[in-house]
Chain A
Amino acid sequence: MFILPAIAVLMLLIAYPIVYTLYLSAVDAHGNFTTKNYANVLRPYVTRQAFFNLIYYVGGSIVFQVLLGTLAAILLNQKFWGRGAVRSITLIPWVVPGIVAATTWAWMFHTEFGIINYMLAGAHVIAGPVGWLTDRNTVMPVLIAINVWKLFPFVTIMVLAGLQAIPADLYEASKIDGASFWQEVWHITLPQVRPVLVAVTLLLVIWGLNAITLIYAITQGGPANLSLITPIQIYQLAFTSFQFNEAAALSVLFFIVAAIIVAIYIKVIPSGTEAAR
């Protein structure tokens, strides 16, 4: 009885739209049944390109988010002066609105007036200004880097909580055995926070597949679709070209692929399902 209101709202705004998307994807503008929508979105090269860009973006982001996030958590678990302040500051990238992060980084990566080109040129890393967001070779790595900056703090919070839950006697035992700091990290810390890492990675996969804001605000998928990802393609199909039925077909395909990725992830790492729930 208590849960009914929440379930009702979720039914209205999640279950109903899903069913309606299925219907939309299978009819034409006059409501007649057709499979043309699916054929139309599968045919063009851009659909495949957007999908591979998405996999590249999500995969690249997650590797570095987990790596840097975990390292930061290990650092913040050490005792040092000012630790509380550093912990708070580490959360800031995650709290900053996505659109603000996008515009600020776009300004910093500005080809002519950006501070990053200035600093790199000053350090003689680059010879002249680099068009980070317009060059085909740099646009995706730069977007991944910004995304890593935005979300690694989330990994840090979760892993840090996991680290604090590790019983101290485990470390004491290893100290007696003469383990070095990095041996401790590898043999004690990482196995202990594994469930947390699994749950966090699952959330990052889901959020990554959903992410529109950063790329949309910075490049809108450009230059020449090089940073176009499927969610943005769906958005543009629906609200720029007003092809609602084709957008629905792509949504269904995308939803199925996303569900498969999540399912594989949960299957492959069974110990993670407990924590993920």
Chain B
Amino acid sequence: MSEVGSRLERRPLAAAGIAAAAIILVVVCLFPFAWMALSSIKKLPELFTVPPHWLPNEPTLANYATVFFNSNIPRYFLNSCIISGGATLVALLLAVFAAYGFARFDFRGKAWLQTFVLVGQLLPTAAIIVPLFITLRWLHLINTYWGLILVYTIITLPLSVWMLTSYLRGIPVDLEEAATIDGASRLGVLFRITLPLATPGIVAVVVYSFVTCWNEFVFALVFAQDQSVKTLPIGLAEFSTEFNTDWGGVMAASMVMTVPVVLLFLAFQRLFVGGLTAGATKG
């Protein structure tokens, strides 16, 4: 009896504990983001005051004006869109065929090839950056959109194949067999029957690839040294030196760079998390 009693008494305490923990979690996750937003609408003298102000005395959009009209950020934004979009498309196309092959056919060396694909995920970036640079230079692809698109494809391809394969395995073969009996070709089956059913998996892969490419820094630093192809992460790093670390500008540029991916991610969060975790929990 006393045991049941203690359980009931603990309830409000437990609820309070959960609430407190949830609030701490939210604050920890959002605080840097909030501070970025607040700093981006402060004037320079106010950024450099001691002690710092929590809220800006005179909110200003001047930092955003600098970013949009007085820096290379708009151009880098366009470059980022083209490169991330291109790499996402290429990786998706390759991953669809590869995943379909892995999910539907048995052939010699399949396990070995699947391991090889995953090794791409295991490779240390730093270890392949030098040879990749030399390879791209030989192909005349340094400082081109295609160079970065190819490089980003190999970053995102392994996990894309992994996610799509486990997704395609979950789609019943019967439907495909019915279509084959009706006289559809393999490719016809893939594009008309299987892929429409795999839309959630495909969306997950697209979001993953796009966000990964959009955020990538090190390869862009090495393979895009010209303004015509530099991406946003490089632009942000550049911003610091170009304006002798104009923190207001840096924070405004950070906002411009972050908001699109956060929105994209939150919009497709459910599909993305489902696609990512499917492989890990189903084994």
Contacts and interface: CB of A to CB of B under 8 A. Distances in A.
The reply to whether chain A is a binding partner of chain B is yes
Interface of A: 1-3, 5-7, 9-10, 12-14, 16-18, 20-21, 24, 72, 75, 78, 80, 82-83, 86, 88-93, 95-101, 103-105, 107-108, 112-115, 118, 122, 149, 153, 157-158, 161-162, 165, 178, 181, 195-196, 199-200, 206, 209-210, 212-213, 216-217, 230-232, 234-235, 238-239, 244, 247-248, 251-252, 254-255, 258-259, 262, 274-275, 277
Contacts of A91: 265-266, 269, 273
Contacts of A178: 3
What are the 5 A-B residue pairs with the smallest beta carbon separation, nearest first?
A: A2-B101, A17-B131, A231-B126, A161-B277, A6-B98
A67 B117 CA distance: 30
A100 B258 contact: yes
Contacts, number: 257
B91 to A, nearest CB: 9
A21 B14 contact: no
B243 interface: no
B126 A274 contact: no
A10 B132 CA distance: 12
B215 interface: yes
B251 A107 contact: yes
A157 B32 contact: no
A157 B273 contact: yes
B261 interface: yes
Nearest to B264: A95
B63 to A, nearest CB: 13
Interface residues on B, range: 35 or more
Max chain B C-beta neighbours (<10 A), residue from A101, A181, A195: A101
Chain A interface mostly helix, strand, loop or mixed? helix
A95 B94 contact: no
A216 B50 CA distance: 28
Given A13-B151, A161-B281, A231-B125, A98 B130 contact: no
A228 to B, nearest CB: 12
B168 to A, nearest CB: 11
Interface of B: 3, 14-15, 18-19, 21-22, 25-26, 28-30, 32-33, 35-36, 39, 47-52, 93-95, 97-98, 100-102, 105, 113-114, 116-135, 150-151, 153-154, 157-158, 161, 211, 214-215, 217-218, 222, 232-233, 236-237, 240, 247, 250-251, 254, 257-258, 261-262, 265-266, 269, 273, 276-277, 280-281, 283
Given A5-B97, A92-B30, 20 more contacts: A9-B154, A13-B150, A13-B151, A14-B154, A16-B135, A17-B135, A18-B131, A78-B18, A95-B211, A99-B217, A101-B32, A104-B254, A105-B32, A162-B277, A162-B281, A213-B217, A216-B217, A216-B218, A231-B125, A238-B133
B52 to A, nearest CB: 5
Given A10-B154, A21-B131, A231 B51 contact: no
Contacts of B133: 238
B161 A212 contact: no
A244 B132 CA distance: 12
Contact of A234 (B29, B129, B233): B129
